[in-house]
Structure 1
Amino acid sequence: MNKNIIAIAVASLGFIIGLGLLGSAIKNRNKSENTISVTGLGTKKFTSDLITWSGNFSRNSFELKQAYDALSNDRKIIENYLISKGIPKNEIVFSAVDIQKQYNYVSDANGSSHQTFAGYQLTQSVSLESKDVAKIENLSRNITEIINLGIEFTSSRPNYFYTKLAEVKQEMIANATKDAKERAEKIAENAGSDLGNLKKATMGVIQITAPNSNEDFSYGGTYNTQSKEKEASITIKLEYEVN
C-alpha cells in the first residue's frame, strides 16, 4: 500500500515538473520570437592621401651586353628626370632586370616550322609611392616627356590609397549602429512595443568605391584604387528583444 502511494506521488511530481519545463520552453520560445532585426548603414566620403605609380621600359639587341648597357643608360636618364621633377631619390624604386630571348617562327616550303633567334629583350620597371598625390598625378600625365628623351616607356595608371582607414571605419561603425538602433526604435514604436536588450550585433565588410558609381559590392569587400575620391560604406545588423 505504501509502495503504491509513493509511486503515485513520484509520478505526480514528475508530471508537475514536466509541465513546468514545458511552460518554460514555451515562454522562452515566445521570448525568442519577440525580436526585431534591423540593418544600419554607415558611409563616409574622403580623399586619398597616398598614391603609387609605375612604368616600364625595355631595350632589344642581339648582344646581351649591348642591350643591358642601353637599359642602364635609360635607367639613369629616368632617375635624373624624376629627381628634376622633385621626386626624392629614396622614393624611386627600380625592379630587377627581366631578360627574355626573342624568336621568330617561319615555315618553309614543306610546311615545317622553324624558329630563329631574334635577339634579347631586357625590361625593367620603376615605381613611386608618395603622399604628394598632386605631384605624382601630374608626373603620370606628362610621361611623354620621358618618351621624348628617346626611351620606350610605358606608364601605368596611378593607384590611390588612404592611410587613415582605421579612423574612417570606426566612424562608420558608430554611424551604422546609430542608424540601426533608430530604425529598431521606430519599428517598436509603430508596433506599440518597447525596445528591449540588444541580443546580437553583426558587422558587414567595408566596401570602398568611387563616389556616385555603379560598382558592385563583393562578399569579401571592395577596395577601389583607381579613384582618388572614395566613398566607404559598412553595414551593422542588430537584433533586439521587444517588450
Structure 2
Amino acid sequence: MNKNIIAIAIAAAGFIIGLAFLGSAIKNRNRADNTISVTGLGSNKFTSDLITWSGNFSRNSFELKSAYDELANDKKIIENYLVSKGIPKDKMVFSAVDIQKQFTYTNDSNGSSHQTFAGYQLSQTVSINSKEVAKIENLSRNITEIINLGIEFTSSPPNYFYTKLADVKQQMIADATKDAKQRAEKIAENSGSKLGHLKRATMGVTQITAPNSTEEYSYGGTFNTSSKDKEARITIKLEYEVD
C-alpha cells in the first residue's frame, strides 16, 4: 500500500515538473518570436580616381641576341612615346623579359610526330598606375600609334579603382543601418507595438558594379574594375525586440 502511494506521489511530482518545463518552453518561445527582423540598404555612386593599364610587346628571331636587341630598342621607343604623351618615367613599370622557345610540329607518313625549332619569342610588359584617369584612358584608346611605329604591341583594357572606398563603405553602413531602423519602427507602429532593444546586427558583403548593369552579385562580394563609374551597395540586417 505504501509502495503504491509513493509511486503515485512520484508520478504526480513528475507530471507537475513536466508542466513547469512545458510552460517555461512556451514562454521562452513566445519571447523569442516577439522580435522584428529587417534589412536595410545603403548605396553610393562614385567615379574612379585611379586607373591601371598595361601593354605587351614582343620580338621573334632565331638568334636570341638579335631578338633581345630588337626588344630593347622597342622598349626605348615605347618609353619615348609615353614620355611624349605626358607620362613620367617613374610611372612606367617594365617587367622582366620573358623568353620562350618556339617549335613547329609535323607528322610523317608513319604517323610519328616531329618538332622543329622555330626560333625565340621574347616579350615584355609595360604597366602604368595613375590618378590621371582621362589621360591614361585616352592613351589606351590610341595605342595604334605605337603599332604604327613598327612595334608588335597588344593593349589590355584599363582597370578602374577608387582610393577612398573605405569612406564610401562607412557612409553606406550608416545609411543601411538608418534604413533598417526606420523600417523596423514602421512595422512596429503598424502592428501597435513599440520597438525594443536591438538584439542582433549582421552586415552583408559589399557589391560594387557598373551603374544600371546586369552584373550578378556574388556570395563573397562583387568588385567591378572594368567600369570607370561604379555603384556600391551593402545591406544591414537588424533584429529588434518588440514590447
* Both structures adopt the same fold (TM-score exceeding 0.5): yes
Query: How far apart in 2 are the matches of 1:153 and 1:130?
Result: 21
Mapped partners of 1:112, 1:177: distance in 2: 70
Partner of 1:96: 96
- Alpha-carbon distance between aligned partners in 2 of 1:28 and 1:171, rounded to the nearest angstrom: 37
Tell me what 1:60 maps to: 60
TM-score if structure 1 supplies the norm length?
0.91
Partner of 2:194: 194
Alpha-carbon distance change, 21 to 74 in structure 1, aligned in 2, over 3 angstroms: same
Shift of 1:108: 2.2
Alignment-derived partner of residue 154 in structure 1:
154
Q: Does 1:130 align with 2:126?
A: no
Deviation at 1:113, TM superposition (A): 1.9
Deviations 1:180-213 (A, max 9, x none): 1111111111111111110000000000000000
**Partner residue in 1 for 2:210:** 210
Is the counterpart of residue 177 in structure 1 residue 182 in structure 2? no
State the distance in 1 between where 2:166 and 2:31 align: 37
State the AA in 1 paired with 2:126.
V
Displacement of 1:114? 1.1
Name the SS for the 1:114 alignment partner.
strand
CA distance in 1 between counterparts of 2:110 and 2:13 reads 102
**Structure-2 residue corresponding to 1:85:** 85
Matched position secondary structure for 1:197: strand
- Residue 31 of structure 1: how far off its partner (Å): 1.2
TM-score normalised according to structure 2 size: 0.91
**Structure 2 CA distance, aligned partners of 1:23 and 1:102?**
81
Q: In structure 2, do the counterparts of structure 1 residues 108 and 186 end up closer, same or farther at CA, with 3 Å as the change threshold?
A: same
For 2:92, give the aligned amino acid. I
CA distance in 2: counterparts of 1:176 and 1:234, whole angstroms: 7
Cα distance in 2, alignment partners of residues 217 and 157 from structure 1: 22
Aligned partner letter, 1:112: S
Q: Is the partner of 1:193 in helix, strand or coil?
A: coil
- The residue that corresponds to 1:28 in the other structure is 28
Deviation, structure 1 residue 87 = 0.6
C-alpha root-mean-square deviation of aligned residues, in Å? 2.2
Deviation at 1:159, TM superposition (A): 0.1
CA distance in 1, matches of 2:48, 2:104: 46
Deviation at 1:139, TM superposition (A): 0.4
Deviation string for 1:117-147 (max 9, x for gaps)? 1000001000000000000001001101100
Residue 120 of structure 1: aligned partner: 120
| Percent of paired sites with the same residue | 81
Q: Secondary structure, in 3 states, of the residue corresponding to 2:167?
A: helix
Gap regions ≥5 residues in structure 2: 1-11
3-state SS of 2:222 partner? coil
Equivalent residue, structure 2, for 1:70: 70
The number of aligned residues is 239
Name the SS for the 1:67 alignment partner: helix
The letter of the residue matching 2:109 is: A
**Partner of residue 164, structure 2:** 164
Match of 2:5 in 1: none
Query: 1:30 Cα deviation (Å)?
Result: 1.4
Q: Using the TM superposition, name which of 101-110 and 134-143 deviates more.
A: 101-110
Aligned equivalents of 2:147, 2:14: Cα separation in 1: 93
Deviation at 1:102, TM superposition (A): 0.4
Alpha-carbon distance in structure 2 between the residues aligned to 1:18 and 1:210: 60
- Greater than 6 Å deviation, 4+ residue runs: 12-21
Offset of residue 19 of structure 1: 6.8
